[in-house]
Structure 1
Amino acid sequence: IKDVYPDGDAWEKCLVEERVPYVTALYKEILRYYTVIPMSLPRRSISDISYNGVIIPAGTLFYMNAFAGDYDENHFIDPYTFNPERYLGDVDGTPHFAYGAGSRMCAGSHLANRELFTFFIRLISAFRILEPNDSKYAAIVDAMEATKCHTSLVAEPKSFKCRFEPRNRKLLESWLETSRQRAENDEYSIRD
């Protein structure tokens, strides 16, 4: 972040540009590794489908197992390791299945990605994220172990704690004040 924004202006510039590849790789790997909706909403086939010599009749319900796709060793090298670097450089194919796939993929994925980029740029620029003082509250890294209920439609993480230490309190206060003023002046709204 400091290489791309040496003047400390990432707080504002990240709203209009996505120029830090590692942060993009970070949110993609988070979406892959911690698949929030492990099973997609159901889809119904509109015609007969032949698959491996078997006819699947029209009207059959399908569920995409996004979690299985995100951990498929044929698609991801060492899928059980959290590794944002897998998204740096030329990456072919679907980066992950957190938004679904194909024509029924989440229509808001591009907006969600921009929001994630902005969030992580601002969070990382503003704070050092530290482990809790008491290790019994530390986050669990393993995606399956970290999930509170394995039968839920949505993967909810078990509770954990961390500490946020401002990197530069004065600069953070300035960023927050600028954001507050922009909100008060309605600078964030869409106009004709």
Structure 2
Amino acid sequence: MTAVDIPRWDELSVDTLPDVPGYRVELVNGALVLTPRAGQPHQRAARRLLVELDRVADRSGWEVFSPLRVRVNSRTDREPDLAITTIRGRHEAVPVTEVLLVGELISKGSVVADTREKPAEYADAGVEWFLLASETPAGWTATLYQLGVEPHEQVDAWGGPIADGRYVPVSHGQPAGQLVLPDLFGITIDLRTLS
């Protein structure tokens, strides 16, 4: 029998794999992870959030993608629901150093990944802004977190600080309310439009 030398996943480009219809393909700590794509309400909310954020990106010279492969490190490629990058144009995988904001919309099967694993990875990589949205029976709610800032007492966010306290909530929109983004972004998102 002949032994075959199979390269590790961190030595391969995940982008060279064939598309797997209905699944998101990510590389997590060297393991290939396939996750079912989110349903239509989730996709609609991500698209509408992208449209809102695109207004800011255009005037600031940034680009918003949904989804986009983000190269977090040599062993991890994530595909967040949306990302704002400092580079324009489409790329196979954007280095995390070029990512200004990552947004995740929580799905039934992604609660742990979206609220614990991914924020920790993005914080480790230095992504300054993390947007987390969740659908509730009363409508969509969203919280904008910033890396490495002092906690804001007035922000009553879902779950408080995340990623071991490294991401601190700076703005929170109640279900079907409004999410006011700070001066860097300078917009208010009506969360009712996500439904």
The TM-score, its normalising length taken from structure 2, stands at 0.26
The TM-score, its normalising length taken from structure 1, stands at 0.26
Hey, which of these two has a bigger chunk of strand by percent?
Answer: 2
Question: Relative CO higher for 1 or 2, CA cutoff 8 Å, sep ≥ 6?
Answer: 1
Structure whose alpha-carbon radius of gyration is higher? 1
Hey, which of these two has a bigger chunk of helix by percent?
Answer: 1
